[in-house]
Structure 1
Amino acid sequence: MSAPLVAVIATEGFSPFHLCVPEIIFSQILPGEALFRYVVCAENPGTIPSKSGMSVSVEHGLDALNDADIVIIPFWAHPEEKPSVALLNALLAARLRGADIVGLCLGTYVLAYAGLLDNHRASTHWEFEADFTARFPCVQLDTNSLYVDDDHLITSAGTAAGIDCCLYVLRKYYGSAVANKVARRMVIPPYREGGQAQFIECSVPKNTKDSRINALLDYLRGHLDKPHDVDSLANFVSMARRTFTRNFTRATGVSPVEWLQVERLRYSQTLLESTDHSVEMIASLSGFNSPVSYRQGFKQRFGVSPSEWRKMFRGK
């Protein structure tokens, strides 16, 4: 039996990184082992420009999808633009033949425009979650996973998650032993724990239009290790409890309790990355009642433990 055929579709304004990821993983990365056959195609063969001034010369048209076992859209430069009918029809035909259809990062948009993802789970770059959800309400967007496989429709989160996704596809065809061998050759982990939540910055407003709330936020940032409750915070700004809660939420977009939780987690990230403090000490300095509640809150928000975060993001 011949090796599975991978067809990667190059589109104008492509990202060189995203186009190279499947080429590295699905071309002959292991010497003497042809795991896949690999071809790059385009709706209009010829010189396809990237978004960064580079270009790629493509010989094959969309008819290359006719025999493909795996079809990959590595990027889509303009999420607001619907792809051509020819491209969408080619994807639909490949899907009907039973091919795995893969959208890396913003390539997920192309699958969604084709209607392939309706009533299916999918992933895309976290910065485009709101836009994607508004455009495709029938798609069940997974806002955390690095990649999602729902009935042979495989989509990934942003940028480097494309590597995780392609390794997953390789693992799906050849098993963990081969995927691990390829990962070692690429000098990357064969599997990453957690999801893209660990890469999303905590959204905590630094200033608001309310000067009293701003003064409170400044105070809290300097005293995160102290216990705080709604009554003490209301007293700080000389407001009644209900008035304070209403004004704080209007100014920041979140409740006082939510703001404190996010800011404490954000501060703990800084401590994990820049100090040698134990997790227990960081929990205390960040204002958590106990190391257990800190670990639980951290894991729930970022998908990894504080120790795993430190291992990933702290330099030498």
Structure 2
Amino acid sequence: MTKLASTSKKHPLVCAIAYDGLCTFEFGIAVELFALPRPEFEHWYKFATVKAEPGPVRALGGLTLDADDNLDLLKDASLIIVPGWRGADAPVPEALCAALRHAYDNGARIASICSGVFVLAAAGLLNGKSATTHWRYTDKLAAQYPDIAVDPDVLFVEAGRVFTSAGSAAGLDLGLHIIRQDFGAQVAASVARRLVLPAQRDGGQRQFVPRPEPKSRAGSGLATLQDRIRASIDEHWPIERMANAAATSGRTLARRFQDETGTTPLNWLKVERVSRAAELLENGDIPLSDVWDVCGFGSAETFRREFRKTMGVPPVRYRERLGSPVVG
């Protein structure tokens, strides 16, 4: 279990950073998870909002936020949350960077949600570490900070006392993960139930599964072929059958797939099977023993292997994290 850095392990201090241009959803995640009073628990967090810099804090949606501008508060924090940032290219005040470094050296944990990772990177807290962010920003993060090992697929990354999460809602998963570390699985599950969320989603689960489509569906014979395969995805679709259905050769079909979707016909088919399986798993009425068959995997072993490789979690865990019963 992670050691709490605040002076009180029973009521560790959580500080959320507010800034001009504040992302209200990400900030709301921090407030909902750590600031909301929870009298049902004997021990819970203290919470403070700290401004990144002097001046007004104008939040998205036309709101203005009043908060303490005393960065010295961070030195007593057990956990500091950076809920997004005003832009991947927006400079980070050196005073904030210095305060974060000082707090980290003092034992605090530092966490970011979505684009907040750029604040942690600017402060040098991610040098030589793994990190993630929203899939829209992963390439930019890797280009700007080559010393960071950017993982574009996962929901969150824990690298020692530094935590980073993917797109906005992944901050909920990261927050529950931290609560679980601090107060145990039962408390985290209770918080998740109140939020009407799965009790736990693995950090290694994929952010999303891309489904390559032709660049233009209008008049595209490739799009017609894809629609036909989707309609009979439980059937065997070797490259020869695909080529015959498209009235072309296997080599030409492979070239067209690469040009129009950026992948091969068989890789496209695998992703389609996994995506269809995920949709079925989200419906708890369909037994697991039937899913692989109706999606055309050929065997339960192949289904489990390909689903985990693509989604980052096995089929059973994927269904469990949705709170659906595991049937069959």
Which has a greater percent of helix?
Answer: 1
1:223 maps onto 2:225 in alignment: no
Tell me how far apart the structure 2 counterparts of residues 71 and 275 of structure 1 sit (CA, whole Å): 38
- The corresponding residue for 1:94 is 103
> How many residues of Structure 1 are paired with residues of Structure 2 in the alignment?
315
State which of 242, 255, 272 in structure 2 corresponds to 1:246. Answer: 255
CA deviations on 1:28-61 (whole Å, 9 max, x unpaired) are 6332845333221113346411112223211332
Matches within 5 A, 1:151-162: 151-162=160-171
Matches within 5 A, 1:109-258: 109-183=118-192, 186=195, 188-193=197-202, 195-197=204-206, 199-206=207-214, 208=216, 211-258=220-267
What amino acid does structure 1 have at the position aligned with 2:35? S
Tell me how far apart the structure 1 counterparts of residues 282 and 45 of structure 2 sit (CA, whole Å): 40
**8 A contact 1:146–1:195 mirrored in 2:** yes
Offset of 1:102 from its aligned partner?
1.4
Calculate the TM-score normalised by the size of structure 1: 0.84
Bigger shift: residues 114-123 or 140-149: 140-149
The SS at the match of 1:126 is coil
Change (3 A) 1:298 1:175: same
The SS at the match of 2:201 is coil
Change (3 A) 1:189 1:310: closer
Tell me how far apart the structure 2 counterparts of residues 270 and 206 of structure 1 sit (CA, whole Å): 22
**8 A contact 2:282–2:324 mirrored in 1:** yes
Is there any run of 5+ residues in structure 2 with no aligned partner, and where? Answer: 1-6
- The corresponding residue for 1:30 is 38
The SS at the match of 1:127 is coil
Tell me how far apart the structure 2 counterparts of residues 212 and 23 of structure 1 sit (CA, whole Å): 51
- The corresponding residue for 2:4 is none
Is there any run of 5+ residues in structure 1 with no aligned partner, and where? Answer: none
Tell me how far apart the structure 2 counterparts of residues 314 and 4 of structure 1 sit (CA, whole Å): 30
Change (3 A) 1:163 1:268: closer
CA deviations on 1:227-275 (whole Å, 9 max, x unpaired) are 1222333334444433332232222210111011112222333444469
State which of 52, 74, 79 in structure 2 corresponds to 1:70. Answer: 79
What amino acid does structure 2 have at the position aligned with 1:5? L
Offset of 1:190 from its aligned partner?
3.8
- The corresponding residue for 2:15 is 7
CA deviations on 1:98-150 (whole Å, 9 max, x unpaired) are 32111122211211122211210112223332332233222112334332221
Calculate the TM-score normalised by the size of structure 2: 0.82
Identity of aligned residues (%): 33
Change (3 A) 1:235 1:181: closer
**8 A contact 2:271–2:310 mirrored in 1:** no
What amino acid does structure 2 have at the position aligned with 1:20? G
